[in-house]
Structure 1
Amino acid sequence: MAVYTDITDEELAGLLADYALGQALSFKGIAEGVENSNFLLETETGRFFLTIYERRVREADLPFFLGLMGWLAGRGYPCPTPIADRAGEVLKRVRGKPCVIVSFLSGLSARRPSAALCRAAGEGLAWLHAAGEGFPLRRDNDLGEAAWSPLFSTLKDAAEALKPGLSAVIEADLARFDRGWPKDLPAGVIHADYFPDNVFFQSGSFSGAIDFYFACTDAYAYDIAVALNAWCFEPDGSFNITAARQLVAGYEARRPLSGAERAALPILAHGAAMRFFLTRLHDWGATPAGALVRPKDPLEYERKLAVHRASPDLVLFGTAA
């Protein structure tokens, strides 16, 4: 989350006039993440979030994202629910940009997840996959494997500036993915950004997930790979096998992995690290001046890439009983 577009009190009042939410009592920008402008909104009827869409989010994708959140919430999955205005519309505009108001989701994210919280997060991810079954819309993963080489072609100089010699290493990784990326794995709706700051807990139990703006149709195991990278590396760059085992065990408590999915996890985790390295490298040099935002360090994921490159089967140790 972040703030790129601020709005005036008059603009907020004009927006809220279309809703049955009452007048605004407080309104505060949130300076986390890198994708959209986000605000915590309290009105006479409760607490909500207002999101103004910008940067990577295409307006044509919004029916998928908003429809998915409504679908999941309708099936009991704890996630923000888009709020309709008096005319039944959920997608609005402010300053010429699309925006939405969603329900407030209670809970706390974990800055340093324990193994127990990793297990709860894994179970929450499998719950999401199950709740998404039958969702009628489809969205291809536009930041999936096919997108990485074209994206890197624009970032070679940035990679060299970050670390001399890195460009050739990344190109070798991309060639490996092109040769051996897994096909025909079980697939459906995935979150694709299941990081600790997007997952909430209460009293040690999973209480919900937020930020569905990378959600898409892709392999379920790829979503697990994203989570393994996000949840199971220590600050010193080492891979926490105990945390990985708990995350996978929590997932399998709701949805057991197939043999093909388990075997694919090493390359999927390596590739998922590439996806976040590339987008962070892009954002590192592209954050607008004056934006209330903190771009994330691409070197964190460069180090994770190095771990997967040096120990390609390491992730599999995290799947052992």
Structure 2
Amino acid sequence: MGTLVSAKGIAEGVENSNYLVDATGGRFILTLYEKRVDEADLPFFLALLDHLAESGNPVPRALRDTHGRQIQRVAGRPACLIEFLPGVWPTQPTPVQARAAGGALGRMHVALQSFEGERPNSLGPAGWHALANRCGAQLDAIAPGLRTRVTGELAWLDAHWPSALPRSVVHADLFPDNVLMLGERVTGLIDFYFSCTELRAWDLAVMHAAWCFSGDGRQFDTALGDALIAGYDAEHPLLPEERAAFPALARGACLRFLLTRAWDWLNTPADALVTRKDPLAFLRRLDHYAAL
């Protein structure tokens, strides 16, 4: 890739350590994988990105060295040099941007029909139970009665989870900050390190919960929600049974992020550089979908 010109740490992100690298051969992202990413999963993630890139999706591939290797070791950690994609993530998405992002997810799902890799979802229904048990009574330190509410929601989802829907490899974390855009055009889908095999429509439900509310979860934007689903449906039509199950899928998405945020809230040291995210923002989203 040429001679190193500069390397600068990137503050965003909580899973890995990232650097913006400029070299005489171009601009790249250097990612050092920290303990929350299992090194044994890296071949799956890299094969997934290669497959999507070859299918014309705007994803960042890990570059190969002169021996054909993608995974290196830097400072004792597995590391990859990754393509740099232009664009910025939409901090306040418009309906036009939401439609474009939904369309990008739909095209990704079309491409994944021919991807043969598989990876279990450790943050699916079984994982929610395990995480709730680990948080235990401490949930009530976040908000009074939260443990009871989570227990009740788990029971409801166990009884109503639409497990017979079509499955696929999914992104599972396509928040606005994982979508790069230039104006109204999607230029990058990034951060695939939660990707797994799951109910395909759950991916859209995760995106819906992430994109269509105010940051605190108090306000739902119907125009954003309609645009997101319309964009997806134009590229990968939703099945009638997926539409019918969408509220349940969205409730599952909200519970997943409520619980992972709660765990981090309870276990992140006060002096850590990582900013804790409010679990209750997803409890409020959950209330919205439960009322449908």
**Normalization by structure 2: what TM-score?**
0.95
Cross-structure match for 1:80: 60
Q: 1:149 touches 1:174 (CA, 8 Å); kept in 2?
A: yes
Distance in 2, Cα, partners of 1:202 & 1:226: 23
Separation (CA, whole Å) in 2 of partners of 1:143 and 1:289: 25
Q: Which residue of 2 aligns with 1:139?
A: 119
Shift of 1:136: 2.0
Q: Structure 2 stretches of 5 or more lacking a match?
A: none
Q: Can you give the 5+ residue segments of structure 1 that lack an aligned partner in the other structure?
A: 1-20, 314-321
Deviation for aligned residue 1:58: 1.0
Partner residue in 2 for 1:306: 287
Contact 1:123 1:252 in 2 (8 A): yes
| Partner residue of 1:260 out of 217, 241, 246 | 241
Query: Residues 285, 40 of structure 1: CA spacing in aligned structure 2 closer, same or farther, 3 A cutoff?
Result: farther
| Contact residue 158 and residue 281 of structure 1 kept, 8 A | no
- Percent of paired sites with the same residue: 46
What does the per-residue CA deviation read over 1:153-201, in whole Å, with 9 as the maximum and x for residues that have no partner?
0112331110011100110001111111111212212110000000011
After superposition, the CA RMSD in angstroms is 1.5
> Which of 168, 174, 179 in structure 2 is aligned with 1:199?
179
Identify the residue that residue 144 of structure 2 maps to in structure 1: 164
1:291: how far off?
5.1
Count of aligned pairs: 291
1:39 and 1:128 map into 2 onto residues whose CA distance is 26
CA distance change for structure 1 residues 204 and 211 in 2, over 3 Å: closer, same or farther? same
Distance in 1 between residues matched to 2:189 and 2:102, nearest whole Å: 12
TM-score by length of 1: 0.87
Determine helix, strand or coil for the equivalent of 1:154: helix
Query: Is residue 189–residue 215 contact of structure 1 (8 Å, CA) maintained in 2?
Result: yes
1:295 is displaced (CA, Å) by 2.8
Worse overlay, 220-229 or 280-289: 280-289
Bigger mean CA offset, 268-277 vs 37-46:
37-46
For the pair 1:68 / 2:83, whether they are aligned, the reply is no
Match of 2:4 in 1: 24
Structure 1 residues 277 and 33: alpha-carbon distance in aligned structure 2, compared to 1, 3 A threshold: farther
Retained in 2: the 8 A contact 1:232–1:239?
yes
CA–CA separation in structure 1 for the residues paired with 2:17 and 2:273? 9
Are 2:215 and 2:281, in contact at CA under 8 Å, matched by a contact in 1?
Answer: no
Distance in 2, matches of 1:43 and 1:219, equals: 41
Q: Write the letter of the residue equivalent to 1:263.
A: A
